C-alpha cells in the first residue's frame, strides 16, 4: 500500500512541529540560563558593592562604651560605612593588641596609649599618616598642643593622632593654703616647699602636706625633665640616671620624705584617698584630669568650694619654663605629655574608611562632645573655647599645663624602664638603698633592658655603613 499525499503532508507537518518545539525548548533553556546568570550577578552586586564597609574599632575602658554615642552621626554622614566597636579593658589592652598583631587580626582603627606608639611603630603595625595629612589645612595640626602631638611623631613621621590628653599637676586645698598665708598657688618649687612646711607644722601630728605614692615614677621623671635631664644617652641606648641633672632632681624628690612632708606610702597602702583629702590628712596631690570628675563625685558637698587645681611650679634656677598661653604671664614648669591616640592598622583592607572615622573623632566638635561624655580633655586647642570647658574652673590649670609638656623617650622599652625608676625610688624612700647605689643599679638595669636595642642598631649599622636607617626613636635627639 503506497503513501498518500495526505499522509505525506501530515508527516511533514509533524517534523516541522517537532523541529519548532525543539528549537523553542532550546531557546527557553537559554533564556532561563540567562535569567539565572543575571540574578546571580545581581546577588553578587548586593553582597559586595552595595554592602556597607565595616570598620572594626577597638577602644579602651569607658571610652569604648561612650564613643558609641558619637557614631550615629558619623554613619549618617557616611551611609556606606558601618562601625563595629569592641570595648577592651585597659588592663588587657596592650596584650590583646600584641596578640592581634601576632595573629594577623588587627582592627582597622584602634586606640593606644601614646607611650605605646614607639612599640607598634617598631612592629610595623601602624600606617604612617603623613600622606593623608597633606589634605589637611596647615592650621589643623597646629591646633594640637605641641608637646602632645610630639608623642605621635617618630623619625619625622606622624604615626597616630591624639584623641584625648592628660598630664599631671597639683590638686590642692584652697582653704588650707589660705590658712598658712597663701591665697594663690606658688609658681616655684621653693615657694611650694615653704607652703608645705607651714602646712605640716600647722596641723595635727598625723597631717602631711602632700601625697606622693612611692610606687609611681611620674614625679621623679617630671622633676628630672625640669632639670634638663635626658634620662637616656647615646641615641637612647644606655641609661643616664647617674647624670648630675637627674641626681639633683632625684634628691629634691627625696626631700618631701626626708622632711616628713609626704608619707612613705604606696597606692596599695591608701585606704580612702578622697576621704583623707577632705579630712585634711594631706593638702596637695599630684594627679591627672580624671580626678576632676572623681573629686566632684566623691568629696562632700561642703568641700566642693575648697579645692582647686594648679599647674606645676618651675625651678627658679632653670629656664625650662613656658608661658601658659598666648598673652598669659603664668609660669609653668614642665610636666608629662600623656593621653591616648588613634592609629590605623597597616594591614587593614579598610584603611580609607577607617581614616574617615579617625578624622571625624578628632574634629574639635566631636572632641568637645567626647569630653561631655567621658571627662577626657580634648587634644585640639580650639575645642577648649567651648563653654563646657572654658567655664570649668578646674580644667583651666590643665590648659595652662598642656602648653608645657614633654614626652618620655620614644622607645618601646620605656615602660619597663619607668617601672625600674619607681622601684628604686621606693627603695631609697624606704631607706633600703642609698642614692648613689640606687642610681647605679638603675643604670645597670636600663642598660640590660636596652641590650636588644643596641644589638639591632649595630646590625643596621653593619648592613648599611654609609646610610643607617634610624630605629624607632633614634631620630629624636636625647
Cell 562604651, residue? 65
So what's the pLDDT on residue 322?
46
So what's the pLDDT on residue 331?
80
Same-domain status, 143 and 78: yes
So what's the pLDDT on residue 51?
87
Instruction: Read off the pLDDT of each residue in 319-338 and give the average, rounded to a whole number.
Output: 66
- The grid coordinates listed for 351 are 584603611
For 286-321, what is each residue's pLDDT tens digit?
Answer: 999 999 999 999 999 999 999 999 999 999 876 544
Same-domain status, 332 and 358: no
- Closest by CA to 81, choosing from 354, 371, 333, is 354
User: What mean pLDDT, rounded, does the chain reach?
Assistant: 89
So what's the pLDDT on residue 470?
52
Instruction: Read off the pLDDT of each residue in 353-364 and give the average, rounded to a whole number.
Output: 98
Is residue 1 classed exposed, middle or buried when 0-12, 13-18 and 19+ CB atoms within 10 A define those classes?
A: exposed
Same-domain status, 310 and 344: no
Is residue 82 classed exposed, middle or buried when 0-12, 13-18 and 19+ CB atoms within 10 A define those classes?
A: middle
For 176-232, what is each residue's pLDDT tens digit?
Answer: 999 999 999 999 999 999 999 999 998 766 789 999 999 999 999 999 999 999 999
The distance in angstroms from the start CA to the end CA of the chain is 118
User: Does 9 have pLDDT greater than 70?
Assistant: no
Same-domain status, 313 and 419: yes
Check which CATH number belongs to the domain holding 117 and give it.
3.40.190.10
| Contact between 431 and 227 (Cβ < 8 Å) | no
Same-domain status, 89 and 160: yes
Same-domain status, 313 and 178: yes
Which residue has better confidence, 360 or 39? 360
Residue 148 lies in a domain: yes
- Closest by CA to 123, choosing from 389, 346, 287, 400, is 346
User: Does 34 have pLDDT greater than 70?
Assistant: no
So what's the pLDDT on residue 2?
56
Which residue has better confidence, 453 or 164? 164
Same-domain status, 206 and 351: no
Instruction: Read off the pLDDT of each residue in 421-450 and give the average, rounded to a whole number.
Output: 98
So what's the pLDDT on residue 28?
61
- As a whole number of angstroms, the distance between CA 53 and CA 48 comes to 9
So what's the pLDDT on residue 177?
96
Residue 27 lies in a domain: no
For 104-142, what is each residue's pLDDT tens digit?
Answer: 999 999 999 999 999 999 999 999 999 999 999 989 999
Same-domain status, 158 and 174: no
Please give the order of strands across the beta sheet that includes 307-310: 210-211, 284-287, 169-173, 307-310
Same-domain status, 214 and 224: yes
Cell 566631636, residue? 366
Same-domain status, 151 and 298: no
- As a whole number of angstroms, the distance between CA 380 and CA 257 comes to 38
So what's the pLDDT on residue 462?
81
User: Does 160 have pLDDT greater than 50?
Assistant: yes
User: Does 20 have pLDDT greater than 70?
Assistant: no
Total domains, the chain: 2
Same-domain status, 197 and 280: yes
Residue 138 lies in a domain: yes
Domain carrying residue 420: 169-336+414-449
Q: How confident is the model at residue 270 (pLDDT cuts 50, 70, 90)?
A: confident
Instruction: Read off the pLDDT of each residue in 23-47 and give the average, rounded to a whole number.
Output: 59
So what's the pLDDT on residue 210?
97
- The grid coordinates listed for 434 are 642609698
Q: How confident is the model at residue 325 (pLDDT cuts 50, 70, 90)?
A: very low
**Partner residues linked to 112 by β-bridges:** 341
Same-domain status, 183 and 266: yes
- The grid coordinates listed for 60 are 579602651
Instruction: Tell me if the pTM is above 0.75.
Output: yes
Coil, strand, or helix at residue 113?
strand
Instruction: Read off the pLDDT of each residue in 9-30 and give the average, rounded to a whole number.
Output: 55
User: Does 467 have pLDDT greater than 60?
Assistant: no
Amino acid at each position: 500500500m503506497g503513501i498518500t499525499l495526505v499522509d505525506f503532508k501530515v508527516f511533514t507537518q509533524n517534523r516541522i512541529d517537532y523541529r519548532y518545539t525543539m528549537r523553542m525548548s532550546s531557546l527557553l533553556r537559554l533564556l532561563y540560563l540567562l535569567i539565572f546568570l543575571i540574578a546571580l550577578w545581581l546577588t553578587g552586586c548586593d553582597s559586595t558593592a552595595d554592602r556597607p564597609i565595616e570598620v572594626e574599632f577597638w577602644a579602651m575602658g569607658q571610652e569604648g562604651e561612650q564613643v558609641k554615642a558619637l557614631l550615629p552621626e558619623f554613619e549618617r554622614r557616611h551611609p556606606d560605612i558601618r562601625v563595629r566597636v569592641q570595648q577592651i579593658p585597659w588592663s588587657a589592652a596592650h596584650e590583646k593588641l600584641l596578640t592581634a598583631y601576632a595573629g594577623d587580626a588587627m582592627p582597622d582603627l584602634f586606640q593606644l596609649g601614646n607611650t605605646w606608639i614607639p612599640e607598634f611603630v617598631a612592629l610595623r603595625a601602624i600606617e604612617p599618616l603623613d600622606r593623608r595629612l597633606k589634605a589637611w589645612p596647615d592650621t589643623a595640626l597646629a591646633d594640637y598642643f605641641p608637646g602632645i602631638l610630639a608623642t605621635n611623631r617618630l623619625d619625622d613621621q606622624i604615626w597616630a593622632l591624639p584623641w584625648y590628653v592628660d598630664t599631671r599637676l597639683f590638686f590642692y586645698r584652697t582653704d588650707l593654703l589660705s590658712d598658712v598665708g597663701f591665697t594663690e598657688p606658688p609658681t616655684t618649687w621653693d615657694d611650694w616647699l615653704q607652703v608645705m612646711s607651714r602646712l605640716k607644722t600647722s596641723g595635727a601630728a598625723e597631717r602631711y602636706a602632700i601625697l606622693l605614692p612611692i610606687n609611681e615614677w611620674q614625679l621623679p621623671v617630671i622633676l628630672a625633665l625640669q632639670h634638663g635631664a635626658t634620662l637616656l644617652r647615646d641615641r637612647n641606648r644606655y641609661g643616664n640616671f647617674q647624670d648630675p641633672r637627674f641626681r639633683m632632681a632625684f634628691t629634691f624628690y627625696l626631700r618631701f620624705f626626708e622632711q616628713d612632708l609626704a608619707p612613705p606610702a604606696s597606692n596599695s597602702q591608701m585606704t580612702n584617698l578622697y576621704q583623707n583629702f577632705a579630712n585634711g590628712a594631706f593638702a596637695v596631690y599630684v594627679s591627672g584630669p580624671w580626678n576632676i570628675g572623681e573629686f566632684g563625685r566623691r568629696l562632700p558637698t561642703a568641700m566642693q568650694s575648697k579645692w582647686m587645681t594648679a599647674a606645676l611650679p618651675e625651678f627658679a634656677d632653670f629656664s625650662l619654663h613656658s608661658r601658659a598661653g598666648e598673652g598669659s604671664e603664668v609660669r609653668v614648669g614642665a610636666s608629662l605629655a600623656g593621653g591616648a591616640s588613634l592609629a590605623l592598622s597597616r594591614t587593614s583592607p579598610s584603611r580609607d574608611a577607617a581614616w574617615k572615622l579617625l578624622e571625624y573623632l578628632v574634629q574639635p566638635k566631636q572632641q568637645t562632645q567626647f569630653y561631655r561624655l567621658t571627662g577626657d580633655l580634648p587634644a585640639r586647642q580650639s575645642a577648649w573655647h567651648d563653654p563646657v570647658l572654658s567655664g570649668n574652673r578646674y580644667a583651666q590649670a590643665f590648659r595652662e599645663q598642656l602648653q608645657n609638656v614633654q614626652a618620655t623617650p620614644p622607645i618601646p622599652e620605656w615602660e619597663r624602664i619607668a617601672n625600674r625608676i619607681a622601684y628604686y625610688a621606693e627603695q631609697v624612700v624606704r631607706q633600703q638603698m642609698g642614692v648613689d647605689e640606687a642610681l647605679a643599679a638603675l643604670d645597670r638595669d636600663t642598660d640590660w633592658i636596652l641590650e636588644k636595642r643596641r644589638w639591632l642598631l649595630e646590625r643596621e649599622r653593619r648592613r648599611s655603613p654609609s646610610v643607617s636607617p634610624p630605629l624607632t626613636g633614634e631620630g629624636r635627639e636625647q
